[in-house]
Chain A
Amino acid sequence: MDATLELTTHGRSARTQRLFTAGLTRAALRQSFVMLRPDIQWRNPVMFVVEVGAALTLLFILRALFSGEAGPFSLGYFIALDIWLWLTVLFANFATAFAEERGRAQAASLRRTRVATPANRRRVDKSFERVTSIDLKPGDIVSVSAGEVIPGDGEVIEGVASVDESAVTGESAPVIREAGGDRSGVTGGTTVLSDRILVRIVAGYGESFLDRMIALVEGAVRQRTPNEIALMLVLTAFSLIFLIVVVPLWPMAFNAEQYMTSYLGLPNQLASLGTDVPTLVALLVCLIPTTIGALLAAIGIAGMDRALRANIIAKSGQAVETAGDVDTVLLDKTGTITLGARRASEFLPLPGVNQREVGLAAALASAADLTPEGQSIVAAVKQMGITAEAVAAPAGSSFVEFSAQTRMSGIDLADGTKIRKGAPDAILAYLCARGKAPASGVDTLIVKAAAEGATPLLVADDNRALGIVVLQDTLKPNISQRIAQLRQMGLRTIMITGDNKLTAATIAKRAGVDDFLPEATPEAKLAFLRKEQAEGKLVAMMGDGTNDAPALAQADVGLAMNSGTQAAKEAGNMVDLDSDPTKLIEVVEIGKQLLMTRGALTTFSIANDVAKYFAIVPALFAATLPWLKAIDVMHLHSPTSAILSAVIFNAVIIPLLIPVALRGVRYRPLGADALLRRNLLVWGVGGVIVPFIGIKAIDLVMVALHLVA
Chain B
Amino acid sequence: MWSLPILLLVVTIALSVPLSRYFAAVMDGRLKALRFLAWFEHRLNSGEQNWKQYTVAMLAFTLVLFTYGYVVLCLQPIAPLNPLGRGILAPSLIFNTVISFMTNTNLQHYAGDQHLSNFSQIFFILPNMFLSASIGFCALTAIIRAFRGAATVGNFFVDMWRVAVYIYLPASLIAGVIYIQQGMPMTYASQQTVSTLEVGSMGTDDKGVAKPQNIIVGPVAAVIPIKMLGTNGGGFYGMNSAHPLENPTAGSNFETTFLMMIFPFTLVLMYGRMLGRLRHSVVIYCVMLAMMIGLIWWTVDWDTLRPNPAFTGTEQARDYSVAAADAPNGVRTVSLPAVAGLPVDQHLGNLEGKELRFGTSAGAVFAAITTDVTCGAVNAEHDSLNPIASLAPFAGMWLNCVFGGKGVGMINLLLFLIVGVFLAGQMVGRSPEYLGRKVGGREMKLAMIALLVHPILILGPAGAFAASDWGTKAESNPGPHGFSQIVYQFSSASANNGSAFDGLSVTYGPNDNQNPAPTAVQLDIATGLVMLFSRYLPIIAPIAMAFYLGRKKEAPASLGTMRDDTVTFGFLLLGTITVIGALLFLPVAALGPIAEQLGPIPFGG
Contacts and interface: CB of A to CB of B under 8 A. Distances in A.
B561 A623 contact: no
B448 A233 contact: yes
B459 A248 contact: yes
A250 interface: yes
Instruction: State which size class the interface on B falls in.
Output: 35 or more
B190 interface: no
Contact of A596 (B427, B451, B468, B600): B427
A247 B463 CA distance: 9
Question: B interface, by DSSP: helix, strand, loop or mixed?
Answer: helix
Interface stretch (A36-44, A46-54, A131-139, A259-267): A259-267
A673 B563 contact: yes
Given A490-B560, A676-B562, A596 B590 contact: no
Contacts of A591: 429
B566 interface: yes
Contacts of B553: 536
Given A247-B463, A625-B591, A627-B318, A242 B583 contact: yes
Contact of A229 (B425, B430, B441): B441
Contacts of B18: none
Contact of B429 (A245, A673, A675): A675
A374 to B, nearest CB: 43
A234 interface: yes
Interface in B374-431: 419, 422-431
Nearest to B457: A244
A491 interface: yes
A675 B427 contact: yes
Contacts of A259: 478-480, 604
B180 interface: no
A73 B582 CA distance: 29
A227 interface: yes
A609 B583 contact: yes
Contacts of A231: 422
Interface stretch (B34-42, B66-74, B568-576): B568-576
Interface stretch (A518-526, A598-606, A648-656): A598-606
B431 A252 contact: no
Interface string B545-568: 000000001111011111100101
Interface string B587-605: 1101100110011100010
B427 A603 contact: yes
B165 interface: no
A287 B583 contact: yes
Given A250-B463, A255-B467, A72 B324 contact: yes
Contacts of B428: 596, 599, 672, 675-676, 679
B556 A536 contact: yes
A234 B579 contact: no
Nearest to B433: A325
Contact of B599 (A325, A595, A622, A625): A625
B559 A628 contact: no
Question: A interface, by DSSP: helix, strand, loop or mixed?
Answer: helix
Given A241-B452, A627-B598, A621 B323 contact: no
A34 interface: no
Given A672-B428, A676-B568, A252 B591 contact: yes
A338 B455 CA distance: 60
B93 to A, nearest CB: 26
B586 interface: yes
Contacts of A245: 455, 459, 583-584, 587
A244 B452 contact: yes
A189 interface: no
A228 B553 CA distance: 21
Given A617-B590, A673-B568, A248 B460 contact: yes
Contact of B467 (A229, A251, A490, A675): A251
A677 B568 contact: yes
Contact of A680 (B322, B326, B427): B427
Nearest to B441: A230
Given A259-B479, A536-B554, A595 B587 contact: no
B426 A599 contact: yes
B572 A626 contact: no
A493 to B, nearest CB: 12
Contact of A639 (B323, B444, B558, B563): B323
A667 B598 contact: no
B445 interface: yes
B336 interface: yes
A679 B427 contact: yes
Contact of B430 (A237, A592, A625): A592
A226 B452 contact: no
Given A244-B459, A609-B583, A672-B430, A252 B466 contact: yes
A151 interface: no
B427 A683 contact: yes
Interface in A230-285: 230-231, 233-234, 237-238, 240-242, 244-245, 247-256, 258-260, 262-264, 268, 270-271
A631 B455 contact: no
Contacts of A606: 423, 579-580, 583
A14 interface: no
B556 A676 contact: no
Given A252-B462, A490-B561, A603 B441 contact: no
A498 interface: no
Nearest to B466: A255
A263 B436 contact: no
Contacts of B562: 672-673, 676
A673 B464 CA distance: 46
B595 A680 contact: no
B431 A321 contact: yes
Contacts of A497: none
Contacts of A226: 440-441
Contacts of B598: 627-628, 630
A686 to B, nearest CB: 12
B463 A607 contact: no
A241 B560 contact: no
A17 interface: no
B572 A629 contact: no
Interface in B324-371: 324-326, 332, 334, 336
B322 A626 contact: yes
B328 to A, nearest CB: 13
A218 interface: no
Best-surrounded residue of B462, B558, B594 (most CB of chain A within 10 A): B558
A595 B430 contact: yes
A690 interface: no
Nearest to A247: B463
A183 interface: no
A260 B595 CA distance: 12
B476 interface: no
Nearest to B420: A603
A662 B553 CA distance: 32
A248 B468 CA distance: 13
Contacts of B560: 327, 489-491, 671-672
Contacts of A535: 555-556
Interface in A468-518: 487-492
23 contacts: A72-B324, A72-B325, A230-B439, A237-B444, A242-B583, A252-B466, A254-B467, A256-B480, A271-B325, A537-B555, A538-B555, A592-B430, A600-B426, A610-B582, A610-B583, A627-B599, A628-B594, A631-B594, A639-B323, A673-B562, A679-B427, A680-B427, A680-B575
Q: Top 9 A-B pairs ranked by shortest CB distance?
A: A490-B560, A599-B426, A248-B463, A592-B429, A251-B467, A626-B320, A230-B441, A490-B559, A237-B448
Given A230-B441, A535-B556, A679-B428, 19 more contacts: A230-B422, A234-B444, A241-B451, A241-B455, A245-B583, A249-B463, A251-B463, A252-B462, A259-B479, A259-B480, A270-B324, A271-B325, A599-B423, A600-B427, A602-B423, A606-B579, A627-B599, A672-B429, A684-B575
